[in-house]
Amino acid sequence: MGRAPCCTKVGLHRGPWTPREDTLLINYVQTHGEGHWRSLPKKAGLLRCGKSCRLRWMNYLRPDIKRGNISTDEDDLIIRLHSLLGNRWSLISGRLPGRTDNEIKNYWNTYLSKRLLSQGIDPNTHKKLPKPVVQQVSKRKNSRGSNNKQNPKKAKATLEPAVIPKVHLPKPSKATSIYFPRNDSFDQCNTFSTVCSSQGEEGKGTQVIQGPWSEYVSHGENGTGFLSESGCHPRVPSIEGDNSLEKLYEEYLQLLKANEDQLQLDAFAESLLI
DNA sequence: AACGGTACCAACCGCAATCAA
DNA sequence: GTTGATTGCGGTTGGTACCGT
């Protein structure tokens, strides 16, 4: 089936987004909601293809995005979820409130996979390698996205091109991730949620607005109209509240403790594929 | 100071799934 | 059931900041 490109590339902007473009996109989504990405650029006055708009929104402009400072708990959870789900980044990110699939994918590729290798674990199979790959891996201090560009002493991850064996697993059938229906995000979750900070740096239970939204968010009473106090994560409706990450983590640990039975772990993985 | 190498991450690309007529 | 449009996902690329020499 011949498939038309998502947009005609002629005359469209590419590359990094400007603050003005961001503002246009945010204003449009704020007014009309997500969805209809194809027609969005025209209506919003953007010279971008819809795909690009969607990506920018999903990975950077969404108000519930938590950027940088991936905690050790999150590290651990990502590794465990990856061992269960493989490279299904959207599913993994769906279990990590405020994290995007792109961020987790980048984080995995630039840090976690190397760390596993250095520990003698194959990042693809999560099984012990015959020989540990000797390398130093630097823990990411801060992300550029968190407006902290001075990565002090960025330790070199002198990764000897440690020939990472590329395992081509059969593509998993697409699992429906937990989403509210398109265009309903504003209504169903009482517009957008603020980020539920489940742990760590920002203090428990505090609601944190990070990233570019901090500039755009209306500062009216309780974020009137755009940011709600509901605290629900639009992508993780099944796990609400401030300790969703902890809950999931505990759930997983209990399974590990209770029974090493692979069936149970598989069942757990299945449950993530709802 | 200049240069080259590396790490990071935003953005792009192509494909598959899903939706709608 | 078929076809074309739209959306979502995962892999990859390219720009840039930083570091060591």
Decide: A54 and A37 in contact? Cβ < 8 Å.
Answer: yes
In the CATH scheme, what is the code of domain A19-61? 1.10.10
The residue among A248 and A11 whose pLDDT is bigger is: A11
Through-space separation of residue A271 CA and nucleotide B9 C1' in angstroms: 31
Of A72, A62, A101, A71, the residue nearest A85 (C-alpha): A101
Q: In A 143-172, which Cβ lie closer than 7 Å to strand B?
A: 143-145, 151, 154, 156-159, 171
A119-169: per-residue pLDDT in tens? 788 777 887 777 655 555 554 444 333 333 333 333 333 333 333 333 333
A235: nearest nucleotide, CA–C1' criterion: C8
Degrees to nearest 5, angle at CA A178 with A176 and A184: 110
CA–CA gap between residue A268 and residue A87 (Å, rounded): 17
A127 by Cβ neighbours in 10 Å (0-12 / 13-18 / 19+) ranks as exposed
> How many residues are listed for chain A in this entry?
274
Q: Give the up-direction half-sphere exposure of residue A23: CA atoms within 13 A in the CB hemisphere.
A: 6
Q: Provide the pLDDT for residue A245.
A: 57
Does residue A50 register a pLDDT over 50?
A: yes
Decide: A126 and A82 in contact? Cβ < 8 Å.
Answer: yes
A190-236: per-residue pLDDT in tens? 333 333 333 333 333 333 344 444 444 444 333 333 333 333 333 33
A155: nearest nucleotide, CA–C1' criterion: C19
